[in-house]
Amino acid sequence: SLVSTAIMCFTRGLDLRKETEDVLCPANCPLWQFPVFGDELYASLSSICGAAIHRGVITNAGGAVRVQTLPGQENYPAVNANGIQSQVLARWASSFSVTRTRNTALEAVGRSASTARPSTGKRPKKPLDKKAGNKDCKADIAFLIDGSYNIGQRRFNLQKNFVGKVAVMLGIGTEGPHVGVVQASEHPKIEFYLKNFTAAKEVLFAIKELGFRGGNSNTGKALKHTAQKFFSLENGARKGIPKIVVVFLDGWPSDDIEEAGIVAREFGVNVFIVSVAKPTTEELGMVQDISFVDKAVCRNNGFFSYQMPTWFGTTKYVKPLVQKLCSHEQMLCSKTCYNSVNIGFLIDGSSSVGDSNFRLVLEFISNVAKAFEISDIGSKVAAVQFTYDQRTEFSFTDYTTKEKVLSAIRNIRYMSGGTATGDAISFTTRNVFGPMKDGPNKNFLVVLTDGQSYDDVRGPAAAAQKAGITVFSVGVAWAPLDDLKDMASEPRESHTFFTREFTGLEQMVPDIIRGICKDFLDSKQ
């Protein structure tokens, strides 16, 4: 039988290596997050699973899809189908089509088996290696429990029982989920860290031993404290694994939770809120902010909020919560290469480029920027144009939406003049990346030039790299290969690009995006 490769919700056409490939989409992809461009023929920048649902090949329950890589085209149309609105794209270097395939054998290529299950047929229970735990549910989870007078001693004990059941069902182990507990009351108290226990029965015992603290339910204060302090490497957080806080709230918080939600998102923490005994109509007057749940969760899309009517008879709520916590794909606040990078473009505006080629350069930059999730807490883009002089077209903090960034790129005016690339790199390192140096995002500089620089490029590029900036050099026409290699980060081969013609730039877009993502992942290992 044919073999299907299990893919992620956000795997795009350009991530596949073969011309025809059978893939398996997971269930419940958060479709609104992954863009689809075109109809029937999709730009390879599109999410494969998104395109398959758009085309009606599968539903959101996932399933097998055959992907055929095809040449690029112009004018991918925007069409609304099967609950997905595809977007317009002027042109792209490659496309793909999606068709149905019979359910095939499965090849889980470096993916977790939970996303890689065929949607039909029983699968044999594989024995869970007790010590390793549930490898399909790798997550670092903080249970933020309510220890305030709101809940009281009796319900506090029921809450502990529920958390214990969730912890056991998660399948805690050395290679599975790790958990810790923080108690929210007047002042937050970290009861135990991720590194303290890696076996379910130890965790269960530690939860049973927790004492009730009392005081106001300062949940906002506790959430902020947890996001900032709990997930450090020395406290047992693991690199590249989703960070999750499950906030249990009996009633409502006594303090402001919105700011804590923002801090958590900035730290790449996925916040779930389990609310029990929602405020009654009479009590609403005492609640500071009625929409406190929506403002604290990772995304206000229904997935991150969970309600239980009371603390009694909660067993039936355990499994659905565990399934949410193990849905890797849905952890939209985790740091990925798409939402955690700053990309600066350094654009050669010298007279040898010419007006029409300059437009092709801007199109190239737009197509790279388009792949990233640009927002105030996500990825950021900046652009500097240079001749003998430098001009900051826009800095990282000027625009916080993709639309505004793309519009700013379109509006860049061609300067024309000489070529001093070294000076321009120094200027960009100091003025554009300087203010970002302590930020959470990884920094990348893409230098585009079509000729020999009049000054030294090696020193300024080395200084940029020393300041934590990864440099990609993209040369066109007369750009000397030695200069390009001198500017590029190590390994130089994979950070240096060259094309004879400006029209060749668009073929490089997927490679630059893939290169940025590879470097981002390597830095997280």
What do you get for the CA distance between the two ends of the chain, in Å?
Answer: 36
On whether both 91 and 206 belong to a single domain, the answer is no
pLDDT in 10s for each residue of the chain, 525 residues: 467 788 887 788 888 878 899 998 888 776 655 678 999 999 988 999 999 999 999 988 888 999 999 988 888 998 888 888 888 888 888 899 999 886 544 443 333 333 333 444 444 455 556 688 888 898 999 999 999 988 999 999 999 999 999 999 999 999 899 999 999 999 999 999 999 998 988 999 999 999 999 998 899 999 999 999 999 889 999 877 899 999 998 887 888 888 899 889 878 899 999 999 776 666 666 666 677 888 899 888 888 999 998 998 899 999 999 999 998 778 888 877 888 899 999 999 999 999 999 999 999 999 999 988 898 878 999 999 999 999 999 999 999 999 999 999 999 999 999 999 999 999 999 999 999 988 889 999 999 999 999 999 999 999 999 999 999 999 999 999 999 999 999 999 999 999 999 999 999 998 999 899 889 878 865
Q: Is residue 375 part of a domain?
A: yes
pLDDT recorded at residue 112? 35
On whether both 293 and 321 belong to a single domain, the answer is yes
Q: Is residue 125 part of a domain?
A: no
Residue 390 β-bridge partners? 386
On whether both 409 and 361 belong to a single domain, the answer is yes
pLDDT recorded at residue 424? 98
Q: Is residue 23 part of a domain?
A: yes
Angle between helices 152-170 and 318-325 (to 10 degrees): 60
pLDDT recorded at residue 163? 96
On whether both 19 and 41 belong to a single domain, the answer is yes
Q: Is residue 135 part of a domain?
A: no
Cα radius of gyration (the chain) = 25
On whether both 326 and 355 belong to a single domain, the answer is no
CATH number of the domain at 18, please.
Answer: 2.170.130.20
Domains: count for the chain: 3
On whether both 320 and 387 belong to a single domain, the answer is no
On whether both 446 and 368 belong to a single domain, the answer is yes
CATH number of the domain at 352, please.
Answer: 3.40.50.410
What residue numbers bound the domain in which 233 lies?
Answer: 140-330
∠ CA 262-446-355, rounded to 5°: 115
On whether both 303 and 428 belong to a single domain, the answer is no
Instruction: Please provide the DSSP assignment of 108-127 as one string.
Output: --SS-TTTS--SSS--PPPP
Q: How far apart are CA 466 and CA 238, in angstroms?
A: 26
Which of 330, 358, 386 represents a domain boundary (last residue)? 330
| Run of H or E residues at 116 | none
Quick check: pTM over 0.75? no
Q: Is residue 373 part of a domain?
A: yes
Q: Is residue 123 part of a domain?
A: no
Torsion of CA 152, 303, 325, 128, to 10 degrees: 120
The structure tokens 């585009």 sit at: 448
Q: Is residue 120 part of a domain?
A: no
Q: Is residue 122 part of a domain?
A: no
Both structure tokens of 32: 């609104």
On whether both 305 and 377 belong to a single domain, the answer is no
The structure tokens 């003049």 sit at: 417
Which of 301, 330, 359 represents a domain boundary (last residue)? 330
On whether both 378 and 351 belong to a single domain, the answer is yes
On whether both 282 and 364 belong to a single domain, the answer is no
On whether both 465 and 439 belong to a single domain, the answer is yes
